[in-house]
Amino acid sequence: MNCPRPHLYFSSLPRTAVNRHPHVLLVGSHQPRLLKSLEGWPKHWPGARNFLIKFASPDAEALAQLPSNGFDLVVVGGEVQPVNAELIEQLVRVARQGLISLC
């Protein structure tokens, strides 16, 4: 079976691991689509949440400038090509819980 675009999904964060205002990194060039991917997430938390969002280019060198474990959620846009090992390594490094969604 040929899968040109891998889908990576990790388990959701436990309620106790998420701070009141989760830090979100959106990686890609189409910012409206990346913001749309956060719509309705998450529904099981009590109370309101304000996301602290940062946009980044899909470049491993640019992501290397970001702090380790600095984001609760990393969303990578579907237009990011290619998704190579170096890019995945940088994404996992900056994601606090290793939670990555490729949309």
**Residue 28 region by backbone torsions, left for phi larger than 0, else alpha for psi between -120 and 50, else beta:** left
Contact in structure between 28 and 54 (CB atoms under 8 Å): no
Chain segment 78-103, per-residue pLDDT in tens: 777 777 888 888 888 898 765 666 66
Structure tokens at 28: 């890609």
Half-sphere exposure (Cβ direction) of 61: Cα atoms closer than 13 Å: 0
Please name the residue ranges forming H helices in the chain. Answer: 31-36, 60-63, 85-94
DSSP three-state, residue 56? strand
Chain segment 46-78, per-residue pLDDT in tens: 777 788 899 998 888 889 999 998 888 888 887
- Cα 17 from Cα 38, distance rounded (Å): 18
Q: Is the pLDDT of residue 28 over 70?
A: yes
pTM here is: 0.70
